[in-house]
Homo-oligomer: A and B are copies of this chain.
Amino acid sequence: MQARFTLYYWPIPFRGQFARFLLAFAGADWAEADAKAVTALYRADPADQPLPMMAPPFLRDYEGDVWLSQMPAICSYLGDVLGLMPGTQTKDAQTLKVLGDCNDVLEAMTRNSGVQMWTDDTWDDFATGRLPQWLSLFEELGRRNGLTETHGTLLGTPQPGVADLACAALWITIADKLPALHPVLDAHAPAILALSQRLADTPPLAALRADQQDRWGELWCAGQIEASLRDVLARWQNSSPQ
C-alpha cells in the first residue's frame, strides 16, 4: 500500500533528519525515495519538477497532493498536518525561528555545504567561537522557555512539538555521528542535550536511529566536507583540553 508521505533525501541524516524525526515521532506512514530518484528529481529542469525546487529535502504528501522543498517549510507543514505545531501565532513563529537556526548551524558546521573545507585553524576558531555561541543560544532559548524545569513552553513542552524535535534532530545527530563533539555540547548546552537525548531515546526515534546506524554507520553530511570535518576532529580531539 502507498505510504502517505515520501521523503526525497539522500541516505544520510543531515538536512533530511528533521522531517524524519517528525514523521517517526508522530507514527506517520512514510517511504524514503531511493537515492537515484532523489538525484533525478534534484537534477530535473524546473518545468519537469512537480513543484519547482532547488535542492533536497523534498516532501510529497499523497493525501494532500502537496510537494514541498526547504526544510523549515517541510517541517512546518508536517507539524501542521501531524499536530506538532504549538498553534499560536507567536509560538508558531518562534518554531520557524528555531528551524531557521537549525539550518544555519548545519551551514556553519559544513562551511556552507562544503564551499570551503575545514583546516585546523578554521576549525579551532569555530570550536571556540561560533559553535559554543550557537549552543549557548539554544540553551538560553530553552532556559527562557522553562526548559530546566522540564515543563518548557517552546522547548521541553509536555507534548514535544516541532521545535523540540528539530532541536533533537540537530544536536543528538551531531552527538551520535560526531562523538568528539559530545563534550562540547554537554559543556555549553546541557539542558538542550538532555532534552535531545530524552526525545532520541523514545521508542520511535531510538528505532529510527538504530536503523540508520545499521545502514549508514557514522555518515552525517557525507562528501568531501565530512571527510574534512573528521580529519580536523581527529587531530583536535587529541590536542584539545576540552
Residues of A whose CB lies within 8 Å of any CB of B are 45-47, 49, 51-54, 64, 66, 68-74, 76-77, 80-81, 89-90, 92-94, 96-97, 99-101, 104, 107, 111-112, 115-116, 133-134, 136-141, 144
Name the CB-closest residue of B to A100: B70
Q: Secondary structure at chain A's binding surface: helix, strand, loop or mixed?
A: helix
A141 to B47, CA, bound (A): 9
- Structural contact, B116 and A90, CB atoms closer than 8 A: no
Of B69, B89, B101, B112, which contacts A80 at CB under 8 A? B89
Of B54, B104, B116, B134, which contacts A137 at CB under 8 A? B54
A77 to B95, CA, bound (A): 11
Of B70, B76, B144, which contacts A101 at CB under 8 A? B70
Q: Which residues of B contact A46 (CB under 8 A)?
A: 133, 136-137, 139-141
Name the CB-closest residue of B to A142: B52
- Structural contact, A137 and B96, CB atoms closer than 8 A: no
Q: How far in angstroms is the closest Cβ of chain B from A69?
A: 6
Q: How far in angstroms is the closest Cβ of chain B from A1?
A: 23
A97 to B66, CA, bound (A): 12
Q: Which residues of B contact A66 (CB under 8 A)?
A: 89-90, 93
Name the CB-closest residue of B to A48: B140
Of B52, B76, B93, which contacts A141 at CB under 8 A? B52
- Asked if A68 meets B97 with Cβ closer than 8 Å, knowing A53-B137, A137-B54, A140-B47, the reply is yes
- Asked if A68 meets B54 with Cβ closer than 8 Å, knowing A89-B81, A112-B112, A116-B115, the reply is no
Of B64, B92, B96, B97, which contacts A89 at CB under 8 A? B64
- Structural contact, B115 and A93, CB atoms closer than 8 A: no
Of B49, B74, B92, B115, which contacts A112 at CB under 8 A? B115
Q: Which residues of B contact A52 (CB under 8 A)?
A: 136-138, 140-141, 144
Q: Which residues of B contact A70 (CB under 8 A)?
A: 96-97, 99-101
- Asked if A93 meets B116 with Cβ closer than 8 Å, knowing A46-B140, A137-B46, the reply is no
Name the CB-closest residue of B to A111: B115
Of B54, B96, B99, B134, which contacts A54 at CB under 8 A? B134
